């Protein structure tokens, strides 16, 4: 009778081999703190967010409060994309592209990605480039929104919260 096999006692995988034990990804996995999981969070982003489209996916983005603990990302794959195996593959590929570019996203965004059929066959670098393009666009949008609402100094040294030009005098006609 053969000895029982215990995965914990198995020798470590060789570098470069494709076998990876579960849980050994460490920091390379998709962080749990970034994931969107609740239905109400998805619904809020769909309802209040803005849609950004490209040939590989549609993304719905909603800026959270500035005190948000980093960006949040969710994925939906409609049944129209195929059976579960195909949908899971598309989701895994898009999740990996997002994970690789997550550092370029400003922390106040919550995004839901809805992949398209073309994401199944496209090369990962192309998918990653589209994700990066979206993240840079959202970060730039957040920067302009911050400068529009940032306090500015008036000519008399007062702080104005309006989005008027810096150096202009506040309206005191009241």
- 46-55, 61-70, 107-116, 164-173: which range is least confident on average? 164-173
pLDDT at 77: 95
Any domain includes 174: no
CATH number at residue 105: 3.30.230.10
Nearest to 130 by CA among 24, 69, 73, 52: 52
pTM of the model: 0.69
Any domain includes 162: no
Specify burial of residue 40 (Cβ count, 10 A radius: 0-12, 13-18, 19+): exposed
Nearest to 103 by CA among 66, 135, 142, 127: 135
Any domain includes 160: no
Mean per-residue pLDDT, 60-67: 83
Any domain includes 76: yes
- Residue 7, Cβ neighbours under 10 Å: how many? 7
pLDDT at 68: 67
CA 117 – CA 93 distance, rounded (Å): 12
Nearest to 127 by CA among 138, 113, 112: 113
Strand order in the sheet with 50-53: 50-53, 57-63, 109-115, 72-75
Any domain includes 58: yes
**Could you report the per-residue pLDDT of 85-134, keeping only the tens digit for each?**
999 999 999 999 999 999 989 888 999 999 999 999 999 999 999 999 99
What's the distance, CA 93 to chain centroid? Answer: 14
Any domain includes 54: yes
pLDDT at 146: 73
pLDDT at 166: 47
User: Residue 5 — pLDDT band, cuts 50, 70, 90?
Assistant: low
CA 107 – CA 67 distance, rounded (Å): 9
Two structure tokens written together for 134: 């979206």
Any domain includes 100: yes
pLDDT tops 60 at residue 162: no
CA 119 – CA 81 distance, rounded (Å): 10
Mean per-residue pLDDT, 25-52: 86
pLDDT tops 70 at residue 34: yes
pLDDT at 147: 76
How many domains would you assign to the chain?
1
Q: Where are the beta strands (DSSP E) in 68-174?
A: 72-75, 109-115, 152-153, 159-160
- Note the maximum CA span of the chain: 95
pLDDT at 15: 55
Specify burial of residue 139 (Cβ count, 10 A radius: 0-12, 13-18, 19+): middle
pLDDT at 73: 96
Instruction: Determine the structural domain holding residue 85 and report its residue range.
Output: 30-148
Any domain includes 8: no
pLDDT at 163: 46
């Amino acid at each position: 009778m053969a000895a029982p096999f215990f995965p914990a006692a198995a020798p470590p995988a060789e570098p470069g081999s494709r076998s990876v034990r579960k849980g050994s990804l460490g920091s390379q996995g998709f962080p749990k703190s970034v994931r969107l999981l609740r239905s109400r969070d998805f619904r809020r982003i769909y309802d209040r967010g803005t849609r950004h489209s490209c040939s590989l996916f549609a993304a719905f983005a909603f800026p959270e409060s500035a005190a948000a603990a980093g960006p949040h990302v969710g994925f939906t794959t409609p049944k129209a994309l195929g059976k579960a195996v195909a949908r899971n593959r598309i989701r895994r590929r898009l999740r990996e592209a997002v994970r690789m570019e997550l550092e370029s996203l400003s922390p106040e965004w919550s995004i839901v990605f809805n992949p398209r059929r073309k994401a199944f066959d496209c090369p990962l670098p192309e998918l990653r480039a589209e994700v990066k393009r979206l993240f840079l666009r959202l970060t730039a949008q957040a920067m302009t929104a911050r400068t529009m609402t940032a306090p500015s100094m008036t000519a008399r040294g007062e702080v104005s919260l309006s989005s008027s030009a810096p150096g202009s005098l506040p309206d005191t006609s009241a």
